[in-house]
Amino acid sequence: MSQKITGIAASEGIAIAPVYLLVDPVLTYEKVTIDNVQEELARLNTAVDQAKGEIKKIRHHAQQQLGEDEAQVFDAHLLVLEDPEYLTQIQQVVEEEQVNAELALDQVTATYIQMFEAMEDNPYMQERAADLKDVSQRLLAALLGVELPNPSTIDHEVIVVAHDLTPSDTAQLNKKHVKAFVTEVGGRTSHSAIMARSLEIPAIVGATGILDHVQQGQKLIVDAIKGEAIVDSDAEELKTYQEEQISYQDQRRQLQALIDVKSATKDGKEIEIAANIGTPKDLAGVKANGADGVGLYRTEFLYMDAKNLPSEDEQYAAYRQALCEMHPKGVVVRTMDIGGDKSLPYLDLPKEMNPFLGYRAIRISLDRQEMFKTQLRALLRASVHGNLKIMFPMIATVEEFRKAKEIFQQAQRELQAEGIEVSQTIELGIMIEIPAAAVLADQFAQEVDFFSIGTNDLIQYTMAADRMNEQVAYLYQPYHPAILRLVHHVIQASHQAGKWTGMCGEMAADPIAIPLLLGLGLDEFSMSASSILPTRKLVSEWTTAQAQELAQKAITECATAEEVVKLVRDFEAS
Ligand code: PEP
Ligand code: MG
């Protein structure tokens, strides 16, 4: 009998492949008194050689898939295993205390890590501590004969199953081999889910208990349209899913006809359907899906992919590439939004009880202004290469926007004084993610050039339901009338001031929400590249008048999200 494990469909598609478990292995051992020291030392040497071999292999894969910069981290790992002082100390403990190499390794490593971590203000030493932890785990696994999983070395078709995937784990997945992933935790708007959509890898998140049901290498069916993972399927089920997979792929092929078609309603009202990107690497998918522009460039991935803060020149190169590739279409770049589920080890941010309510995004940028200014200078320098708009994330107060704008203008003046040409027509906008900003949209509209509604956060803050927590996922309701009213208010406020409003949260690509948003007057919809064509098709099936009538009813007559969904369904059926 087959078993279905349900979760949240985070990135659409159907996949069938063997399981690749990405779980931390158990690395436990007992203290052993050894008689033959030479034998133990030889065992240690073999493990060191094995670990080195593995690191070289990973380095090679990382270099091929992610580039030389990303691969260099593994050089630091190799250096640890070539450090004679570290290895000699482990050997000495084995010799003097006559204990097993595992114990000696742990003792010596702990002393080093303590020493490095004590140098709190020294990010270099913090990094060395992280390297040492990583390498010593690998060496310990080699001593114990346990294999460590490594997503970057996957070289055959698999479905990755894990408790959770960090955004950097996700970045390492190679789309060619990883046909889908399933995690036990996470929500539709966790950043791994968002990245899966950019990479166009089918994904299910929040599949509680999946790890208890699957084994390494076992065949798994992932239906990431319904949000179901199926184990132990019989031949008939397998055939059904294979057929569904083919029909899904056919549908996707048919949508290709819309690539160069204008985004407009049935009665010809044009809107913009733009793409969300995390890195310039995503631009290929954006162009292949015929986006009208980039509505959200999440620049924090540039920071997260590096070992140190990216320099002005490194950032300039990335922004310029995005602007040039999209020219003459617009690119809305969001200044970095670190914090929440996106950490940056080298910034040494404090551990917080409520990271989504804490030190995040513009709050960090206004606090660490040098870092912010570097980003703005890079953006300003790139601005002459295309159609740039800049927006600030997590704005709660008008003062925050004014401060950010002032630093932007300072950077602009500085560059001009240095004789560097910059565009004078860059629009400056804000993300509407915090309910206070949504409520005060009329005031903000006097000062900003545009709004982009970040519903991933706006919903979590309005409903007080953590976007990462599947236990409260039922409260994460994009169609809740309160959310629709907030969205309506923001759009109206911007239009009254002659400004425009976009939406770059996941709600913008939701087929139930799209007609409602059209009716509320949203000007720009920004989403993962894979959602662009289905959205263009859906928009073309509605007239403005129909959408307006629907939206009006939803915000005036509905009390619950369920009523809103029913309203949309009934309307579509009529
Ligand atoms: C949002 O909050 O809707 C948004 C687009 O930003 P992020 O998902 O990066 O927080
Ligand atoms: Mg957000």
pLDDT band at residue 69 under the 50/70/90 scheme: low
Q: Report which protein residue has its CA nearest ligand 1's atom 6.
A: 454
Q: Whole-number mean pLDDT of the chain?
A: 92
pLDDT tens, 255-290? 999 999 999 999 999 999 999 999 898 898 899 999
Of the candidate CATH numbers 3.50.30.10, 3.30.360.10, 1.10.10.10, 3.90.180.10, the domain formed by 151-255 belongs to 3.50.30.10
Question: Coil, strand, or helix at residue 15?
Answer: strand
Among protein residues, the one with the nearest Cα to ligand 1's atom 7 is: 456
CA dihedral 485, 489, 490, 493 (to 10 degrees): 170
Return the pLDDT at 208. Answer: 92
Task: Kindly report, residue by residue over 476-485, the tens digit of the pLDDT.
Answer: 999 999 999 9
Q: List pLDDT tens digits, range 440-468.
A: 999 999 999 999 999 999 999 999 999 88
- CB under 6 Å to ligand 1: residues? 189, 296, 298, 337, 433, 454-457, 504-505
Q: Which residue has the tokens 């690191």?
A: 55
Q: Measuring CA to CA, how many Å separate 110 from each of 107, 123, 324, 382?
A: 5, 19, 49, 46
**What is the whole-number distance in angstroms between the Cα of residue 86 and the centre of ligand 1?**
44
Q: Please write the tens of the pLDDT for every residue from 223-242.
A: 999 999 999 999 999 999 99
Task: For residue 334, count other CB atoms closer than 10 A to its CB.
Answer: 26
Distance 468 CA to ligand 2 centre (A): 12
Q: Which of 294, 298, 467, 483 to mutate to test the pocket of ligand 1 (most atoms within 8 A of CB)?
A: 298
Of the chain, the percentage scoring pLDDT greater than 70 comes to 97
Q: Quote the pLDDT of residue 24.
A: 80
**DSSP H helical segments within 34-122, as ranges?**
37-66, 68-71, 73-81, 84-97, 101-118
Question: Using an 8 Å Cβ cutoff, are 469 and 449 in contact?
Answer: no
Tokens of 408: 């932007």
Q: Stretch 419-428: mean pLDDT, rounded?
A: 97
Q: Which residue has the higher pLDDT, 68 or 510?
A: 510
Residues tagged active-site:
191, 504
Say what the pLDDT of residue 115 is: 86
Q: What pLDDT, on a 0 to 100 scale, did the predictor assign at position 38?
A: 95
- Provide the 3-class DSSP secondary structure of residue 359: coil
Q: How far apart are CA 344 and CA 338, in angstroms?
A: 7
d(Cα 228, Cα 182) in Å, to the nearest integer?
Answer: 10
- On the question of pLDDT at 70 being above 70, the answer is no
Domain extents for the chain? 36-144, 151-255, 267-505+520-529
DSSP assignment, residue 163?
Answer: S
In whole angstroms, what is the distance from residue 535 CA to residue 518 CA? 11
CATH of domain 267-505+520-529: 3.20.20.60
The answer to whether residue 566 scores a pLDDT higher than 80 is yes
174-212 pLDDT, tens digit per residue, is 888 999 999 998 887 777 788 788 788 999 999 999 999
| Residue whose CA is at the smallest distance from ligand 1 atom 1 | 454
Q: Which of 387, 358, 334 is nearest to 505 (CA)?
A: 334
- Kindly report the pTM of this predicted structure: 0.78
CA 520 to ligand 2 center in whole angstroms: 21
The CATH code of domain 36-144 reads: 1.10.274.10
List, as own/partner pairs, every contact residues 358-364 make where C-beta atoms lie below 8 angstroms and the sequence separation is at least 24, other chains included: 360/394, 361/335, 361/336, 361/337, 361/392, 361/393, 361/394, 362/335, 362/392, 362/393, 362/394, 362/395, 362/400, 362/404, 363/339, 363/394, 364/336, 364/338, 364/339
Tell me the C-alpha distance between 423 and 376, whole Å.
13
